[in-house]
Amino acid sequence: MVNFVLNGEVVRADDPSQTLLDFIRLQKGLTGTKEGCNEGDCGACTVQVAALEGGELVHRAVNSCILLLGQMQGKSVTTIEALGGNHPVQEAMVEHHGSQCGFCTPGIVMSLATAHREGRQDHADVLAGNLCRCTGYAPILRAAEAAAKAPVPEGPDEAALIRGLSGEGFTELDDFANWYAENPDAVLVGGATEVGLMLTKELKQPEKFAFLNRITALQNIEHEIGGMRIGAGVLLARLRGAMAGKYPQFAEMLRRFGSVQVRNSATIGGNIANGSPIADTPPALIALEASITLRKGDKRREILLEDFYLSYGVQDRAAGEFIESVFIPEQPDTLGVYKISKRFDQDISALCGAFNIAVHDGHVTKARIAFGGMAATPKRAKAVESALVGQPWSEATIDAAQAAFGQDYTPISDQRGSAEYRLTVAQNLLKRYFLEQTGTKRVRVVGGPS
Ligand SMILES: Cc1cc2nc3c(=O)[nH]c(=O)nc-3n(C[C@H](O)[C@H](O)[C@H](O)COP(=O)(O)OP(=O)(O)OC[C@H]3O[C@@H](n4cnc5c(N)ncnc54)[C@H](O)[C@@H]3O)c2cc1C
Ligand code: FES
Ligand code: FES
């Protein structure tokens, strides 16, 4: 049984694997929330979810089509129906002609109403995950700007309602660790931005799920002696904030990871564990020499992230073992991260490269380079690194090292890019990194957007 708040009322649901979208439309008849793609891409199903994070009530826009009810325990959901028709964003959308056919409009209004509530002004980023096929975004952005000046309307006391909910599911890390060691066939659910698709697109019906999102011990970002430890359950939206001051290019890449709605659900643990060769956080983490802590019951082991990926779809993770945290060692920021995709926003990488090169007295003393989209797993470019270390930090060294990419990678050709394109872009990105690090202004290099 799952208990949560829906438009100010406590509701109970008995199937934790049902999607939130199906529940609100089919069980509750709240059909204002639309179903478009049913895979997290279009934003038609956007709703607002409020949760207590570190005691603070935080509102996030999420895609309800790939959220499972088990993730809603202890949260408060607001759908378009609860805005009532005269919310400042709705009035501004009317005034600025922000809607034509109207199919995308409830999702757009929920994204903008959440941004309005949280005081966000980056409206173009906020709308990256809301696809409007007919109005065009200029009137919608004008509406968002106009609404930003209005006060946030009063609503129900969501914090009190949430505190009054009886809790079920895992909240204690030790309880979950012991249970999972005994139930290794359970599907772990972080943000469900991968698991949700398993249900809606692959039509799989796993028997057991374990929802991790209420285990607060997995959600810490701690600055320890020697580095930063990030719990596996940390949302990518929060990770972006944590990276902004420390490794700005990592944060900038995260701005282009999915959309606001995806980053508000997806976790770092899910991105790593999923094992996709085009996952976007592993290249940056590997370049930063990150390690992960794997845990089974009360036994832990720490391995370098690069050693976690064994071959396509195979990771070094035993049955009943889960990722507990990621550790990034303290180091000066020399990180460059480049996501190359056909669209700037909300797109899967053709390749994603990360460079972390230390230079002392004009010579390269350390080089860590990793790519996604170039091999069957996220992978280091060890031949390129060897061609750099010990050499003068000069354009001649870079030009010579570019050839070594062919030893490290034999990329495939697919709809996102040919093998030749991928190799050329990787080589160009090394040059781009060099030019950026040596103080030349950001440059456009053939083969990738600036
Ligand atoms: C519209 C859309 C856009 C996307 N864009 C991007 C993108 O730009 N870049 C990118 O890299 N990915 C992208 N993704 C993929 C996905 O969002 C990410 O991989 C995300 O980080 C997965 O995290 P999650 O918490 O949602 O994982 P979940 O779906 O909850 O889990 C993914 C897998 O990891 C396992 N798992 C989860 N947590 C743990 C843990 N702690 N220990 C062990 N196993 C665990 C689950 O059992 C499952 O097998 C996108 C997905 C969608 C739907
Ligand atoms: S229906 Fe498209 S994101 Fe949910
Ligand atoms: S108004 Fe038709 S899809 Fe946006």
The pLDDT tens digits for 398-435 are 999 999 999 999 999 999 999 999 999 999 999 999 99
pLDDT (0 to 100) of residue 446 = 40
DSSP string, 300-357: EEEEEHHHHEEETTEES--TT-EEEEEEEE-----EEEEEE-SSSSS---SEEEEEEE
pLDDT category, 358, cuts 50, 70, 90? very high
Ligand nearest to the CA of 93: 3
Q: Give 250 Cα–ligand 2 centroid separation in angstroms.
A: 27
DSSP string, 225-282: TTEEEEETT-BHHHHHHHHHTT-HHHHHHHHTSS-HHHHTT-BHHHHHHT--TT-SHH
pLDDT (0 to 100) of residue 235 = 98
Q: What domains are defined for the chain?
A: 2-158 (3.10.20.30), 173-274+290-329 (3.30.465.10), 336-437 (3.30.390.50)
Q: With pLDDT > 70 as the criterion, what percentage of the chain qualifies?
A: 98
Cα distances from 192 to residues 110, 263, 272, 444, in angstroms, run 20, 11, 13, 36
pLDDT (0 to 100) of residue 166 = 85
Q: Give 268 Cα–ligand 1 centroid separation in angstroms.
A: 8
DSSP β-ladder status, 299-304 and 309-311: unpaired
Q: Is 5 helix (H, G, I), strand (E, B) or coil?
A: strand
Question: Measuring CA to CA, which residue among 271, 211, 210 is closest to residue 236?
Answer: 271
| Ligand 1 within 6 A of CB of 193 | yes
User: Are the C-beta atoms of 38 and 25 separated by less than 8 Å?
Assistant: no
What's the average model confidence in pLDDT over 199-227?
94
pLDDT category, 439, cuts 50, 70, 90? confident
Q: What is the largest CA-CA distance in the chain?
A: 68
pLDDT (0 to 100) of residue 444 = 46
What's the average model confidence in pLDDT over 77-91?
97
- Cα separation of 263 and 394, whole Å? 38
- Residue 443 in this model has a pLDDT that exceeds 50: no
Query: What type of residue sits at position 65?
Result: C
The pLDDT tens digits for 288-313 are 999 999 999 999 999 999 999 999 99
- Cα separation of 216 and 53, whole Å? 9
Residue with tokens 């080089």, as numbered in its chain: 367
Ligand nearest to the CA of 211: 1
| Ligand 2 within 6 A of CB of 42 | yes
- Cα separation of 302 and 321, whole Å? 12
- Residue 257 in this model has a pLDDT that exceeds 50: yes
pLDDT (0 to 100) of residue 76 = 98
| Ligand 2 within 6 A of CB of 419 | no
| Ligand 3 within 6 A of CB of 104 | yes
Q: Give 257 Cα–ligand 1 centroid separation in angstroms.
A: 11
pLDDT (0 to 100) of residue 215 = 97
- Residue 137 in this model has a pLDDT that exceeds 80: yes
| Ligand 1 within 6 A of CB of 282 | no
pLDDT (0 to 100) of residue 441 = 53
Phi then psi for residue 308, to 5 deg, are -70, -30
Task: Please return the burial class of 329, using the count of CB atoms within 10 Å of its CB with bins 0-12, 13-18 and 19+.
Answer: exposed
Average pLDDT, the chain: 95
| Ligand 3 within 6 A of CB of 132 | yes
Question: Measuring CA to CA, which residue among 346, 391, 369 is closest to residue 254?
Answer: 346
**Which structure tokens are listed for 172?**
């204690």
| Ligand 3 within 6 A of CB of 31 | no
